[in-house]
């Protein structure tokens, strides 16, 4: 979602006549999009801002020195990292969740920054940039109370085949560990007409795959009179001529109903992949996390998907070391991995975040213990993926060709189930084409295959 926000922000600048440059030292404006979901991501931002400090930054009088923070020094000697790397005084802006979280505090820690704007205020960006262009020294966009979404005429997309498309912004859930409701504001859905219009434009521009985005994408609630449910929208997007694949992420288990599974069953263009974060396999921990479902309710959703006529690939997110997570709770997460049989999992050590209820919870798990649990979890999931992928040897898949390897005759792409496939083809494949491949080998994170157009195809797949 952050990547797509950056694409839309670039669109705002392009519409104002700016051009994208390859190198930092050629830029008049540097906008830095940030994440604050975990502490590590937030720390990176300040070290990066230190690197962006103009070499001749000498404003000792105006800088509030904070002895415990190293970003701001007396500012008298040239900063090595920035020296020679920046154009003379570019506009430097900080966007995204850390901007929202730290607000004007960013100006204190990095006074060379002139714009601070959270994602809920991006619709104000053209106006903020105009204020900077007309001489204002500092501008902010920090409101989160809004029912507007960020739409822009031009979006500069980085991937030539897969286009991201936000359909719902913000989040109204209140998971006790999560900063998103604070940094991205309340839930706002785009009208179905506006989403469908953008999909038609994308298809006309040659995109064949679209990915609908939202923190809780399946909580989509059409604000227009058409009142489309999320599953209706999926079906309508899949009907747009030229669209061959429709993906969506991230789904929240509470709002995940059988109508979504039925849509996947009915329409091949809707991808057979659901990302359904569980976070923990223990009902007690899920309760403390305020996830609004129990272990068995979650497993019912998995059973519903496993009963579908198409084989649906399921992936998840997991947090280990949440405050109060006992060894038994952790064991329950491991046994949930066995029961759910995920095709992929993003796993994280719990990271305490500002403003969140879990910050004040007791029984904090020591860092080493979190690391131990994370390593066990990753290993268990790796073995599950290896076994699942090995069962696919001999099967055929359609792959969107997305990359050419440096090695001769080697290509890569994704299946509808979002598996990465590295395949051999003697033909000069065209990037963006869809080809049939047969799986000849498997690793935990990818499939090895051979294209049907390869001359050894029948030999290698017997
Ligand atoms: N909205 C999505 C959801 O509800 O699943 C994803 C939100 S978040 C951007 C992506 C993942 O980061 C979450 O699913 C969760 O596993 C992880 N995460 C969020 N807050 C965290 C925290 N404080 N510590 C560790 N991981 C966290
Ligand atoms: Fe964060 Fe929970 Fe909202 Fe996901 S559903 S963004 S984890 S509060």
| pLDDT of 402 over the 70 cut | yes
Tally of CA atoms within 13 A in the half-sphere of 182 that contains its CB = 19
Residue 25 CA: distances (Å) to CA of 3, 56, 80, 90, 400: 22, 15, 14, 9, 36
In this structure, how many other beta carbons lie within 10 angstroms of the beta carbon of residue 383? 12
The secondary structure of residue 279, as a DSSP letter, is B
Q: How far is the C-alpha of 179 from the C-alpha of 59, rounded, in Å?
A: 34
The secondary structure of residue 122, as a DSSP letter, is G
Pocket of ligand 2 (CB under 6 A): 171, 173, 175, 178, 180-181, 215-216, 252
Ligand 1 centre from 327 Cα, in Å?
Answer: 21
Q: How far is the C-alpha of 446 from the C-alpha of 439, rounded, in Å?
A: 10
User: Counting ligands in written order, which one lies closest to the CA of residue 175?
Assistant: 2
Say what the pLDDT of residue 457 is: 55
Ligand 2 centre from 303 Cα, in Å?
Answer: 23
Say what the pLDDT of residue 148 is: 87
Say what the pLDDT of residue 66 is: 30
Task: Give 41's pLDDT tier (boundaries 50, 70, 90).
Answer: confident
| pLDDT of 67 over the 60 cut | no
Say what the pLDDT of residue 33 is: 95
Task: Give the mean model confidence (pLDDT) for residues 212-234.
Answer: 97
Give the residue, by CA position, lying nearest to ligand 2 atom 4.
215
Closest to 316 in 3D by CA, of 344, 348, 292 = 344
Q: How far is the C-alpha of 137 from the C-alpha of 112, rounded, in Å?
A: 10
User: Counting ligands in written order, which one lies closest to the CA of residue 276?
Assistant: 1
Which ligand 1 atom is at minimum distance from the Cα of 1?
A: 9
Task: Give the mean model confidence (pLDDT) for residues 5-12.
Answer: 93
Task: Give 381's pLDDT tier (boundaries 50, 70, 90).
Answer: very high
Say what the pLDDT of residue 452 is: 84
Task: Give the mean model confidence (pLDDT) for residues 298-315.
Answer: 98
| pLDDT of 71 over the 60 cut | no
What pTM did the predictor assign? 0.91
Task: Give 86's pLDDT tier (boundaries 50, 70, 90).
Answer: low
Task: Give the mean model confidence (pLDDT) for residues 281-303.
Answer: 98
Pocket of ligand 1 (CB under 6 A): 37-38, 177-178, 180, 215-216, 250, 252, 277, 279, 317, 319, 348, 350-351, 353
């Amino acid at each position: 979602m952050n990547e797509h926000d950056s694409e839309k922000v670039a669109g705002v600048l392009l519409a104002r006549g700016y051009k994208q440059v390859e190198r930092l030292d050629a830029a008049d404006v540097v906008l830095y999009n940030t994440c604050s979901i975990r502490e590590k991501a937030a720390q990176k931002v300040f070290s990066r801002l230190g690197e962006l400090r103009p070499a001749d930054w000498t404003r000792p009088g105006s800088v509030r020195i904070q002895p415990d923070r190293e970003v701001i020094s007396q500012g008298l000697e040239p900063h090595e990292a920035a020296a020679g790397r920046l154009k003379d005084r570019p506009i430097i802006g900080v966007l995204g969740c850390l901007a929202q979280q730290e607000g004007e505090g960013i100006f204190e820690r990095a006074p060379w920054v002139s714009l601070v704007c959270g994602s809920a205020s991006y619709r104000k960006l053209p106006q903020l940039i105009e204020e900077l262009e007309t001489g204002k020294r500092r501008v902010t966009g920090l409101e989160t109370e809004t029912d507007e979404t960020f739409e822009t005429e031009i979006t500069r997309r980085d991937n030539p085949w897969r286009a991201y498309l936000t359909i719902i912004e913000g989040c109204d859930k209140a998971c006790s560990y999560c900063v998103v409701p604070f940094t991205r504001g309340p839930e706002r859905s785009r009208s179905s007409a506006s989403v469908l219009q953008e999909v038609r434009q994308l298809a006309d521009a040659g995109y064949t795959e679209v990915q609908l985005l939202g923190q809780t994408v399946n909580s989509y609630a059409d604000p227009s009179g058409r009142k489309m449910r999320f599953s209706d929208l999926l079906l309508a997007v899949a009907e747009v001529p030229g669209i061959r694949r429709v993906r969506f992420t991230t789904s929240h288990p509470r709002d995940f109903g059988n109508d979504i599974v039925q849509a996947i069953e009915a329409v091949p263009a809707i991808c057979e992949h659901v990302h359904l974060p569980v976070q923990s396999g223990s009902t007690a921990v899920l309760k403390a996390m305020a996830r609004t479902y129990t272990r068995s309710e979650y497993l019912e959703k998995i059973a519903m998907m496993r009963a579908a006529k198409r084989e649906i690939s399921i992936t998840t997110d997991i947090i280990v070391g949440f405050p109060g997570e006992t060894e038994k709770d952790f064991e329950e997460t491991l046994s949930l991995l066995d029961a759910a049989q995920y095709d992929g999992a993003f796993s994280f050590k719990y990271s305490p975040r500002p403003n969140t209820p879990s910050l004040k919870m007791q029984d904090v798990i020591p860092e080493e213990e979190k690391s131990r649990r994370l390593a066990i979890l990753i290993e268990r999931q790796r073995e599950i993926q290896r076994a699942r992928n090995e069962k696919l040897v001999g099967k055929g898949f359609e792959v969107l060709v997305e990359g050419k390897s440096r090695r001769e005759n080697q290509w890569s792409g994704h299946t509808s189930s979002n598996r990465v496939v590295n395949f051999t083809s003697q033909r000069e494949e065209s990037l963006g084409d869809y080809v049939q491949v047969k799986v000849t080998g498997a690793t935990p994170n990818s499939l090895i295959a051979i294209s049907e157009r390869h001359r050894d195809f029948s030999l290698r797949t017997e």
